[in-house]
Structure 1
Amino acid sequence: MGLISDNNERAYLEEIKYLENCCQENNLLLNVRKTKELIVDCSKKQERHYQPVRISGTTVERVDSFRYLGVHISQDLSWSRHTNSLAKKARQRLYHLRCLRDFRLPSKVLRNFYICTIESILMGNITVWFGNSTKQDRQALQRVGHSAERITHTESLDLQSIYYKQCQTKARRIVKDPTHPNNRLFSLLRSGKRFCSLMTKIERLKRNFFPQAIRSLNQGN
């Protein structure tokens, strides 16, 4: 990661050069064909043109979205592409759930299959993307849960509740670990009973993990 400030790419390009040199010094081969460049520009100004990045004489492909550890990160910091991918994958597995229902398997077995193969997809890294996802994206995912509810005849998951619970669990883990890089973001007020709220400059990040986690912690206290 490198910062492009005031349209000056020097620090960004130096970071890439450092990575290239580090790989060479440690006898690591960097596969440029599998390396992608993603530029996140939140400014509302006219579209800027950045010079292409070259590593070992090969130009790195620039993309508008990249899948990292199962999460689709887009250059506009929206999560529609990621949630659409989750919904599509989950709907495909609903077919197998319907097949098991047609075999007249017990509801308990259908429920276990749903939790292991479908709900696990919808819950993956939920603290990262759910807080900033749109209402339409959330409804698309929730419809998958409602479909599974009709198939298994059991109550489906509530993504909002799961998100709150996982935020609180993750926040408590970070608070208890002083070595965690984000530990400093959870600071107590002078009373020592409530945590401070985080202020964010980018509108779409106001509902991200940290403010939600702080609210969850304060509600728990």
Structure 2
Amino acid sequence: MALYKYADDMALVTSEDLSKYQQAVSNLVQKFEDFLLGLNISKTKEMCCGAVSEADTSLFKPLSIQGQPVEQVQSFWYLGTEIDDHLSFANHSNGVYKKALQRLHLLRKLRALNVNKDILTIVYKSLIESILTFNITA
């Protein structure tokens, strides 16, 4: 079981059986309470990944925190990246592609207006390159 944290975002990842998973979540909630931290249960999501079929996920006992059910999802956004239950980034990649195309259209319009090449480079790097390289490690 692993807990990934960044700023105010967390992801609990496990391949353990569900009883250990529920206990780990309960322990985490207790830590929040011990440190007087709030947990926004409405923003909390649960996703089963990998070779688990939809029929299999319906057999899982729904996760609950403080008596409130946690929403089960097939995809969610984590640290600016859309992750789905097959660990495919196809939806995320398509979204980035569409956003880049829209911004490229703006760049073409500016070029048609004979905007200085240095300005076009700045626009490209700030509006297009930044979204294409977001979350890419060196």
Q: TM-score, normalised by structure 1?
A: 0.52
2:82 aligned with 1:72: yes
Match of 1:114 in 2: 124
- Equivalent position to 1:41, from 42, 50, 74: 50
2:87 aligned with 1:94: no
Match of 1:84 in 2: 94
Q: Secondary structure at the match of 1:125?
A: coil
Which residue type is aligned with residue 25 of structure 2?
I
Distance 2:83 2:20 in 1: 22
Cα shift at 1:15: 1.0
Return 5+ residue gaps in structure 2 as ranges: 1-11
Q: Is the 8 A contact 1:72 1:79 kept in 2?
A: yes
Distance 2:33 2:52 in 1: 35
Q: Is the 8 A contact 1:37 1:60 kept in 2?
A: yes
Point out 4+ residue stretches in structure 1 off by more than 6 angstroms. Answer: none
Distance 1:61 1:43 in 2: 17
> 1:125-136 maps to which residues of 2 (within 5 A)?
125-127=135-137
Match of 1:170 in 2: none
> 1:143-158 maps to which residues of 2 (within 5 A)?
none
> 1:10-21 maps to which residues of 2 (within 5 A)?
10-21=19-30
Return 5+ residue gaps in structure 1 as ranges: 128-165, 167-221
Match of 1:3 in 2: 14
**C-alpha root-mean-square deviation of aligned residues, in Å?**
1.8
Q: Is the 8 A contact 1:2 1:15 kept in 2?
A: no
Match of 1:217 in 2: none
Q: Secondary structure at the match of 1:78?
A: coil
> 1:46-61 maps to which residues of 2 (within 5 A)?
47-48=56-57, 49-61=59-71
Deviations 1:61-80, CA, capped at 9 Å, x for gaps: 11111111111111101110
Match of 2:8 in 1: none
Match of 2:114 in 1: 104
Cα shift at 1:43: 5.5
Q: Secondary structure at the match of 1:72?
A: strand
Q: Is the 8 A contact 1:4 1:11 kept in 2?
A: no
Give the strand-richer structure, 1 or 2. 2
Distance 2:98 2:24 in 1: 37
Q: Is the 8 A contact 1:2 1:11 kept in 2?
A: no
Q: TM-score, normalised by structure 2?
A: 0.81
Aligned residues: 125
Distance 1:12 1:2 in 2: 9
Give the helix-richer structure, 1 or 2. 1
